[in-house]
Amino acid sequence: MRVLITRPEREATTLATALSQRGHAPVIAPLFHLEILHPPADFAASLAACQGVLLTSANGARALAEASEQRGRPILAVGDTTAATAEGLGFNAVTSAAGDGAALVELVRQRLDPKAGPLVHVSGVDLALDLGEALSRHGFDVRRFALYDARAEATLPDSARAALQARALDAATFFSPRAASQFAKLVGEAGLADSLRSVTAIGISPAVLAPLGKLPFKATVSAARPTRQAVLDEIDRLAEAGVQGQAIMSDTASSPPPLEPPIPPPVQVRRGLGVFGAFVIGLVTAVIVLAGAVISLPFWPEQVRVLWRGQAVIPPAPTPALDLQSVQAAANAVANAAVETARRDLTARLDDLEKRLRALSATATEKPTGSDPAVAELRSRVEALESRPAAAPPAGTPAAPPAMPAGEADKEIAVLRAEITTLHTALQALDQSVTGQREQTKALGDALGARNAGEQKALVAARASAVIGVAARLSAALDSGLPFAADLTLLAPLAQGDAKLTEVAAALQPYAQAGVPSRAALAASFPAVAKAALADDVADDSFGERLLGKVRSIVSLRRVGDDVPGDSAEAKLARAEAALDAGDLAKAVDLMKSLPPQTAKATQAWLARAEAHLAAKRAIDALAAHAISLLGAVH
């Protein structure tokens, strides 16, 4: 059968290959061209916080692969084709609903828990089914991101126009209501609706065929299941039954069939090497793959060898998503509380020391280093007593009283001497007290100075510890491939007056908002880059090399390990992959840069992501080293 394909170019090419292998002649006429859109700013954070990603088309899988390097998120796909596309792009936890949107909703309801976190739906600008509305009835929070747009063609493609004018079509396939509606519009504008009377419309579901109701198709057929495989099976069934003489679900059964015009010569469409060439390439590829599989079987992992022997392997359950935002918020709260507590404690201790210093200063002021008034008074009294017996009465004064008897005079002299001795003792005690007070004031002043030095060291140590904590958070963000703008803001108050910290913060700032790819993500994407680079390395103008390059772009058979000798592209790729697996990303980058110039197109994007990772890692390592040097200076 001659079958019209209206899907976008990439899906149309895949479907045309499948039709050619079944003996049909495809006519590719894309009604839409795909445009990948830039993800919004909050896409990375939503993807990190979700428990799973919903895909309703193969284009959604491609858009997701372009928007993020993460490949470990659980994927729930609407059908087998979408699931296969996602797996081919490196996603390793893919589950297919094997149906339509309703089947995907049921799969989500059975497999996932609404309390485990939100879902992310990657879709096009135009929606056939609003999963958010359908799943909200079951308690799920669905965040939709339109990451691609299928833009409609303004006119009917030339291939479809020529085939309809020549009445060279037997069937036309439709995979979405939008495609069917666009086809009806363009055919009407081109005035070719009458050419559809010998064509059978085949839709992936009855809803897809609804916009075609007013067109005079010979018959309209809906696939048994909403999958591409079911559409292919329906085409085979119609071909076997003889679609030219059938009227399956005809929309025009009540009207007499029109007179058929003479059948024109069949349109010969030549693509590439033709059916025979495609068969030869497929046969050669199959032989190469089978031989490679048999030869390398002893070196396969145990799980793959078990799968080869036919034993059942139970796929691992999807790993529950880690709520990185909650962990980050909790870590921020703990760090902020610790810093606030330390600040309050240091402030209280400094206030106490200041009060004690003021009290000591006041005490020292009240007891000056000069002569004490009490001491001066005692000295004057002692001197007066000592000079009392020898004092002569002034002139003109009355005569002294008669002298006392000798015994009483001796007694008074003894009393006076005792009083003088007591006063001398009190004077010495006061002198010692003043001296002791001076020494205590000096000792407390020295202690206060030492305490201030200790407090300064404690502040430096606390600052160094905070820098180490920020470096650890930045390193965790680097390992997970997440943005680290919030973590970098914690460095701003610590970098005041520190040129080294300011320099590190400036080096990390360009990568903070989007983050850098993790080493695990770089390792996961390396095989595809290596395959493309190897294919570009062997491609030249000869037919044999072009054929070998085509085979290498489909099947990657290359040596691996760090012991592969030589300077060929294959040897360098093998050593680079081994270095990457061993954690030495810098060595892998150096080896990739040394590849031949013809591989630059395949490797330049990967190298840019890897160098961004290395630059961020160098800055974070410098930050940690600076914090350790601050701690060393304290001790």
Give the pairing of strands 142-152 and 32-36: antiparallel
Judge whether 51 and 75 are in contact, CB under 8 Å.
no
Separation in Å, CA 447 to CA 63, 443, 452, 455, 488: 68, 6, 9, 12, 39
Amino acid making up residue 587: K
For the beta carbon of residue 601, count every other beta carbon within 10 angstroms.
11
Per-residue pLDDT at 363: 52
Q: What is the pLDDT of residues 465-511, one digit of tens each?
A: 788 888 888 888 888 888 888 888 887 887 777 888 888 888 888 98
Instruction: Record the tokens describing residue 517, joined without a space.
Output: 């790819």
Q: Burial-class residue 602 by CB neighbours within 10 Å (0-12, 13-18, 19+).
A: buried
Amino acid making up residue 626: H
Q: What values do phi and psi take at 142, rounded to 5? A: -110, 125
Distance (Å, rounded) from C-alpha 8 to C-alpha 28? Answer: 9
Q: Which residues contact 421 (CB under 8 A, 6 or more apart)?
A: none
Residue 328 has pLDDT above 60, yes or no: no
Average pLDDT of the chain, as a whole number: 76
At 579, the pLDDT band (50, 70, 90 cuts) reads: confident
Where helices occur in 367-405 by DSSP H, the ranges are: 373-387
Distance (Å, rounded) from C-alpha 58 to C-alpha 82? Answer: 4
More confident residue, 1 or 436: 1
Characterise 153 by phi-psi region: left (phi > 0), alpha (psi -120 to 50), beta (else).
beta
Q: What is the pLDDT of residues 357-382, one digit of tens each?
A: 565 555 544 444 445 555 566 566 65
> End-to-end CA distance of the chain, in Å?
86
What average pLDDT does the segment 97-101 reach? 85
What radius of gyration do the chain's Cα atoms show?
Answer: 46
Distance, CA of 547 to chain centre: 39
At 554, the pLDDT band (50, 70, 90 cuts) reads: low
More confident residue, 404 or 56: 56
The enclosing H or E element of 572 equals helix 569-581
What average pLDDT does the segment 188-198 reach? 90
Amino acid making up residue 501: L
Per-residue pLDDT at 4: 93
What average pLDDT does the segment 333-341 reach? 55
Judge whether 569 and 537 are in contact, CB under 8 Å.
yes
Per-residue pLDDT at 404: 52
Separation in Å, CA 416 to CA 303, 378, 428: 115, 14, 18
For the beta carbon of residue 482, count every other beta carbon within 10 angstroms.
21
Q: Which of 585, 579, 582 is nearest to 606 (CA)?
A: 585
At 251, the pLDDT band (50, 70, 90 cuts) reads: very low
Q: Which residues contact 280 (CB under 8 A, 6 or more apart)?
A: 273
Distance (Å, rounded) from C-alpha 442 to C-alpha 117? Answer: 66
| Cα angle, residue 64 at apex, residues 62 and 67 outer, rounded to 5° | 110
Q: Burial-class residue 229 by CB neighbours within 10 Å (0-12, 13-18, 19+).
A: middle
Per-residue pLDDT at 548: 54
Torsion of CA 437, 438, 443, 447, to 10 degrees: 90
Q: Which residues contact 434 (CB under 8 A, 6 or more apart)?
A: 367, 372
Please identify which residue in the block is written with the tokens 């001796």: 410
The reported pTM is 0.37
Per-residue pLDDT at 308: 59
